[in-house]
């Protein structure tokens, strides 16, 4: 290696090594899964001592590796370990705490009862920061305080991480008080089941304050992870909007009141469309957040259908024909046609309105030809009624919130079965106007450049996205 190459190599910052340590079954592997956004790392079971060896996972900022997380075995016998360390200290009075740990490693054989603890000590001596995972549901037993005493001998920064904090405020306060005795005030609440991105961000920020030499690397990681998280949430919200739009715009024709078989077929096709559309949306959302279908239990949505009639004078329809309510071409026709449509008739008022529209150059009726033809021929259109759309929206709102706050260590499926709005779930402002506009634009049922560039559609999309993300 020449001098230039050597200098370049030295300029590359080393990776931060973080040891995830603690007693058996406190959630060490769970923490790493949550930080990786993956349930594929390691093995999680209720039985003690699931992790038997040190396992490493690397976290990147784009393509740049920033830090290594080392999942260590649980410290199962802190009493015996502390006795052994004190014995070494007694026989080697000049040894520093770190030298005592090193001596313990060197003298522990593979078949030694404390061989697992030796693996943990070996890793913490190689690491820059220690994350000490605490299950706050557990009482503050002497063995845990011994573990902290042992870890402190490595002279490495320790960040206590409180896991399983949901609904355990009193227990959390007790743990904080006990840790203060060891001068451990820089702690963090990070629930690996009830995830919060802000908690993950604060974890990196706390590490930043403890390893100043890696400050810029960690800031790069924080910025990158925040950008990716925002993109994930935005992509999910857009996918939900696509579902609401497609379902609101969808319709089936109903030709004859007396043809019960044809009518029931149309109703069934409508219900199948809604349910398949929601299932497709669910699969996409799970993919976005890197979950699988075993993580969410989506109950079958009740679908009610309504009858839809084209309102020629709805603002969205008029705009499609290049007209507005004050158009001279519509004067004298609006009142008659509006009444005729309300009573289901087709008289001079509607004919005059259609003639006015045709006169604007839309003679082929590209946008609403089928609806106008259906009106003339006495056909009806079945669409999803507003109550079903409300349920559909609220279910997606709840689903998005659950996915945004579900840790990858969670193993119980979340239930989605919203039929009424809870205190935290509400419809967007101007919801009736949004649905009315969507139903008046059936061509928006499928994505297209024209639809996506339509200012009216863009306004609806923005309102729905903002409402979804505000609730999440």
CA distance linking residue 290 with residue 36, whole number of Å: 10
Phi, psi dihedral angles at 446 (to 5 degrees): -120, 145
How distant, in Å, are the alpha carbons of 212, 227, 325 from that of 62? 22, 11, 52
Kindly indicate the confidence band of residue 26, based on its pLDDT and cuts at 50, 70 and 90: confident
**CB-based contacts of 276, cutoff 8 Å, min separation 6:** none
**CB-based contacts of 362, cutoff 8 Å, min separation 6:** 321, 322
Beta bridge partners of 308: 381
Kindly indicate the confidence band of residue 166, based on its pLDDT and cuts at 50, 70 and 90: confident
Kindly indicate the confidence band of residue 257, based on its pLDDT and cuts at 50, 70 and 90: low
- The more confidently predicted of residues 23 and 288 is 288
Kindly indicate the confidence band of residue 452, based on its pLDDT and cuts at 50, 70 and 90: very high
Kindly indicate the confidence band of residue 316, based on its pLDDT and cuts at 50, 70 and 90: low
- 469 membership: H or E segment, kind and range: helix 455-471
Question: What is the signed CA dihedral for 55, 61, 67, 70, rounded to 10 degrees?
Answer: -20
Average pLDDT over residues 53-77: 91
Q: Would you say residue 129 has pLDDT above 70? A: yes
Q: Would you say residue 402 has pLDDT above 50? A: yes
pLDDT for the residue 345:
45
Residues 152, 146 contacting (CB under 8 angstroms)? no
Helix axes 215-249 and 455-471, enclosed angle (nearest 10): 120
Tracing tokens 């507003």 back to the chain, one arrives at 386
Radius of gyration in angstroms for the set of CA atoms belonging to the chain, rounded to a whole number: 32
- The more confidently predicted of residues 163 and 323 is 163
Q: Would you say residue 392 has pLDDT above 90? A: yes
Average pLDDT over residues 101-125: 93
Average pLDDT over residues 139-144: 90
Q: What domains appear along the chain, each with residue ranges and CATH number?
A: 9-210 (3.40.50.300), 232-310+368-471 (no CATH)
Residues 81, 38 contacting (CB under 8 angstroms)? no
Strands 414-416 and 16-21: unpaired
Tell the burial category of 264 from Cβ atoms under 10 Å away from its Cβ (0-12, 13-18, 19+): exposed
How distant, in Å, are the alpha carbons of 309, 335, 337, 347 from that of 342? 9, 11, 9, 12
| Average of per-residue pLDDT values in the chain | 81
Q: Would you say residue 33 has pLDDT above 60? A: yes
CA distance linking residue 86 with residue 73, whole number of Å: 22
Helix axes 386-404 and 431-439, enclosed angle (nearest 10): 110
Helix axes 215-249 and 431-439, enclosed angle (nearest 10): 60
Helix axes 28-36 and 197-210, enclosed angle (nearest 10): 100
Which range among 44-58, 250-264, 314-328 shows the weakest confidence by mean pLDDT? 314-328
Q: Would you say residue 342 has pLDDT above 70? A: no
pLDDT for the residue 280:
95
Helix/strand/coil for 161: strand
HEC sequence for 242-268: HHHHHHHHCEEEECCCCCHHHHHHHHH
Residue 76 tokens read as: 């199962």
CB neighbours of residue 6 within 10 Å: 10
Residue 347 tokens read as: 């008289």
pLDDT for the residue 170:
93
pLDDT for the residue 61:
94
* Threshold 0.85, pTM exceeds: no
Residue 142 tokens read as: 């002497």
Q: What is the pLDDT of residues 404-426, one digit of tens each?
A: 998 887 878 888 866 544 555 68
Kindly indicate the confidence band of residue 339, based on its pLDDT and cuts at 50, 70 and 90: very low
Residue 212 tokens read as: 């100043």
Helix/strand/coil for 412: coil
Q: Would you say residue 194 has pLDDT above 60? A: yes
CA distance linking residue 430 with residue 463, whole number of Å: 9
Residues 154, 46 contacting (CB under 8 angstroms)? no
Kindly indicate the confidence band of residue 262, based on its pLDDT and cuts at 50, 70 and 90: low
Residue 337 tokens read as: 């046609």
Strands 380-384 and 251-254: antiparallel
């Amino acid at each position: 290696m020449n001098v230039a190459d050597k200098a370049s190599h030295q300029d590359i910052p080393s990776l931060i090594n973080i040891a995830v340590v603690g007693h058996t079954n406190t959630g060490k592997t769970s923490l790493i899964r949550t930080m990786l956004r993956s349930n594929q790392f390691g093995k999680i079971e209720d039985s003690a001592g699931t992790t038997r060896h040190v396992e490493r996972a690397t976290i990147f900022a784009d393509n740049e590796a920033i830090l290594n997380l080392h999942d260590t075995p649980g410290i199962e016998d802190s009493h015996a370990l502390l006795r052994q360390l004190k014995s070494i200290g007694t026989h080697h009075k000049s040894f520093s705490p770190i030298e005592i740990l090193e001596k313990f490693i060197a003298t522990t054989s593979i078949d030694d009862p404390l061989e697992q603890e030796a693996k943990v000590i070996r890793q913490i001596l190689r690491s820059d920061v220690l994350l000490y995972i605490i299950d706050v549901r557990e009482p503050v037993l002497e063995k845990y305080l011994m573990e902290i005493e042992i870890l402190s001998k490595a002279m490495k920064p320790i960040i206590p991480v409180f896991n399983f904090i949901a609904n355990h405020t009193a227990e959390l306060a007790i743990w904080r008080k006990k840790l203060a005795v060891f001068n451990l005030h820089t702690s963090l609440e990070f629930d690996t089941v009830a995830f919060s991105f802000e908690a993950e961000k604060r974890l990196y920020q706390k590490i930043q304050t403890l390893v100043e030499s890696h400050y810029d690397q960690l800031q790069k990681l924080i910025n990158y992870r925040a950008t990716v998280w925002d993109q994930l949430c935005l992509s999910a919200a857009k996918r939900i909007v696509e579902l609401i739009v497609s379902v609101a715009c969808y319709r089936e024709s109903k030709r004859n009141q007396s043809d019960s078989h044809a009518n029931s077929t149309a109703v069934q096709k409508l219900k199948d469309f809604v349910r398949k559309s929601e299932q497709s949306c669910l699969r996409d959302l799970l993919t976005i957040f890197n979950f699988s279908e075993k993580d969410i239990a989506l109950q079958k949505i009740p679908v009610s259908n309504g009858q839809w009639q084209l309102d020629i004078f709805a603002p969205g329809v008029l705009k499609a024909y290049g007209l507005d309510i004050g158009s001279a071409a519509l004067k004298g026709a609006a009142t008659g046609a509006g009444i005729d449509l309300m009573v289901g008739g087709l008289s001079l008022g509607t004919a005059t309105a259609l003639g006015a529209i045709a006169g604007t150059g839309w003679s082929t009726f590209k946008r609403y030809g089928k609806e106008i033809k259906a009106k003339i021929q006495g056909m009806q259109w079945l669409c999803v009624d507003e109550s079903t759309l409300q349920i559909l929206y609220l279910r997606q709102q709840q689903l998005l919130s659950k996915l945004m706050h579900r840790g990858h260590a969670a193993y119980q499926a979340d239930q989605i079965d919203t039929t009424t709005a809870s205190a935290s779930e509400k419809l967007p402002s101007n919801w009736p106007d949004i649905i009315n506009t969507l139903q008046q634009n059936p061509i928006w049922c499928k994505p297209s450049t024209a639809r996506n560039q339509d200012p009216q559609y863009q306004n609806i999309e923005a309102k729905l996205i903002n409402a979804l993300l505000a609730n999440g």
